[in-house]
């Protein structure tokens, strides 16, 4: 299905063409996997996307303005018990009194004891 490019999109894309390619590529980061390949216009992708049995590995890390703190990797999905252990043993020791902790609405973040461990 062909995509329609609006004039405003075309102008936006051409403004990005002004950035030197070497610099733009060095600053580009892609995380995750794609269901389809991405190549130059009118070129077919001749590769298969990965599929089948997946192994879940979870990375939890605290982000500060000056870098990462308390990295934690688990073999499997996040649970409330594991997240509470992470907060108590890894994250809380790195926190200062005035630090702000922001979490999304993952059910594991809402288990009893997480807020107490952060505020301690």
113 has a pLDDT exceeding 70: yes
Q: pLDDT band at residue 93, thresholds of 50, 70 and 90?
A: very high
User: Does residue 35 lie in a domain region?
Assistant: no
25 found inside a domain: no
The reply to whether 50 falls in a domain is no
User: Per-residue confidence at 33, pLDDT binned at 50, 70, 90?
Assistant: very low
Other beta carbons less than 10 A from residue 45's beta carbon: 11
Q: Which range in 15-29, 34-48, 50-64 is most confidently predicted, on average pLDDT?
A: 50-64
Residue 12's SS3 state is helix
pTM (predicted TM-score):
0.56
Q: How many structural domains are present in the chain? A: 1
Across the range 82-91, mean pLDDT stands at 95
Residues 55-90: b if buried by 16+ CB within 10 A, e if exposed: eeebebebeeeeeeebebebeeebebebbbebbbeb
- SS3 at position 87: helix
Residue 75 lies in a domain: yes
81 within some domain: yes
pLDDT of amino acid 97? 87
């Amino acid at each position: 299905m062909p995509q329609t490019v609006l004039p405003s999109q075309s102008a936006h894309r051409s403004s990005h063409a002004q950035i030197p390619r070497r610099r733009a590529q060095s600053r580009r980061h892609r995380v995750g996997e794609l269901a389809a390949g991405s190549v130059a216009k009118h070129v077919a992708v001749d590769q298969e996307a990965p599929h089948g049995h997946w192994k879940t590995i979870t990375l939890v890390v605290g982000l500060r303005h000056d870098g990462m703190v308390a990295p934690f990797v688990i073999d499997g999905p996040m649970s409330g018990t594991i997240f509470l252990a992470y907060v108590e043993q890894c994250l809380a020791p790195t926190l200062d009194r005035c630090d702000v902790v922001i979490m999304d609405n993952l059910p594991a973040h809402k288990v009893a004891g997480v807020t107490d461990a952060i505020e301690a």
